[in-house]
Amino acid sequence: MPLKRGYKQLVEDASARITTISVAEAQAMLGKPDVVFVDIRDVRELEREGKIPGAFNAPRGMLEFWVDPESPYYRDVFAEGKTFVLYCKSSWRSALATATLEDMGLTPVCHIAGGYTAWLGAGAPIETVEPRHARVH
């Protein structure tokens, strides 16, 4: 059964209506007190590959619940008054997430073109993420 709209169309539609910034623009925002970088990758990806320094991890599957103040899972980091810069590995998930957050009314929000892969490719700074649970061998 063919889909009405596949992931490529969803990402393309989202990208047409959201703000996408370059790695250079994102680097210029790094460390500013009114900016929050939000890494929406799974924690295992962060543990494997690191993250942008100071980024808050909000896994894609929980993002809407963490953003909504009426949700029992709400996180204070999403209080208004900051610019939110989302990213994932390649910018597909972050494009969809940025569009969703805009639909929810969270602004300003944008995402990084090319995602964490582009960030790494530019030689931008990263920090390591220690595993949350010690692995038993």
Provide the number of structural domains found in the chain.
1
Integer Cα distance of 69 and 79 in angstroms: 8
Domain boundaries, position 83: 7-121
CATH of the domain at 79: 3.40.250.10
> Looking at the domain assignment, is residue 132 inside a domain?
no
The Cα-based distances of 63 to 14, 47, 53, 58, 97 in angstroms read: 16, 19, 20, 6, 8
Residue carrying the six token digits 């590959």 = 49
Q: Is 134 exposed, middle or buried (0-12, 13-18, 19+ CB in 10 A)?
A: exposed
Question: Helix, strand, coil: what percent of the chain each, to 5?
Answer: 40, 15, 45
Is 52 a member of any domain?
A: yes
The confidence score (pLDDT) of residue 81 equals 83
Task: Give the tens place of pLDDT for each residue, 28-81.
Answer: 999 999 999 999 999 999 999 999 999 999 999 999 999 999 999 999 999 868
pLDDT tens digit string along 96-106?
Answer: 999 999 999 99
In a domain, 136, yes or no: no
- Does the global pTM surpass 0.85? yes
Domain-located, residue 62: yes
